[in-house]
Amino acid sequence: MQSTPNPEGIARMKAGEDRLRSLFLQGLAGDAAAYQAFLKDMSAHLRAFFKRRLASLPDDIEDLVQETLLALHNQRHTYQSAQPLTAWVHAIARYKLIDLFRARGSREALHEPLEDDLLVFAASDTDASDARRDLGRLLEQLPDHQRLPILHMKLEGLSVIETAQVTGMSESAVKVGVHRGLKALAALLGIAP
């Protein structure tokens, strides 16, 4: 059971998200100092993100931070200001992490549960509640045949069979709904696999 952050923790998380977003948008508008501050703060954020996921590969963390910062810079034009910044950043970071696992040929890393690989479900130490709220907003944009399988399987942990029973969908429709829903979420975030 996950504990709920206290009001001060929630306020601190929101302030951190707001600061990153503000610095990033100022940087996009041409403020070089704000962009440098964004990159510095984002480096710390990404380091924590990767550290939790790469305990067994600590030597790769800094490389991934740098690769992700470069990808953020190169893909900055794809960010849609109406979308949550951390979801967009985590999507790119997650692709970099998957690229690392693929490059290493690690079959075990590629067979982690899908919710661990789903980009928008990733959360940092400081924005878990913001990420849940942002994810809810993104899921609301999906049709029921995509949203419900993702909710039941990926958030509630039900199996394909259980999800099919709860939703009245066939097992294959549940699988297709999850697959297409995840692709639709990535498209909403402007991230191409």
> Where a domain ends, among 90, 124, 158?
124
Q: Which of 135, 117, 124, 134 is nearest to 179 (CA)?
A: 117
Specify the higher pLDDT residue, 189 or 179: 179
**Residue 1 binned pLDDT confidence (cut-offs 50, 70, 90):** very low
65 domain residue, yes or no: yes
Looking at the structure of the chain, the number of domains it has is 2
Taking each helix axis from N to C end, the angle separating 128-140 and 171-188, rounded to the nearest 10 degrees, works out to: 110
Residues 110 and 161 in one domain: no
Query: Which residues make Cβ contacts (< 8 Å) with residue 128, sequence separation at least 6?
Result: 5, 13
Residues 63 and 153 in one domain: no
**What residue numbers bound the domain in which 163 lies?**
141-193
97 domain residue, yes or no: yes
CATH number of the domain within which 76 lies? 1.10.1740.10
pLDDT per position as a tens digit, 96-146: 888 888 777 644 544 555 554 445 444 455 455 566 677 777 778 889 898
Residues 108 and 50 in one domain: yes
Q: Which of 160, 167, 130, 188 is nearest to 9 (CA)?
A: 130
Are 64 and 100 contacting, i.e. CB atoms less than 8 angstroms apart?
A: yes
pLDDT at residue 16 is higher than 90: no
Q: Which of 91, 93, 80 is nearest to 43 (CA)?
A: 93
Residues 118 and 149 in one domain: no
CATH number of the domain within which 184 lies? 1.10.10.10
34 domain residue, yes or no: yes
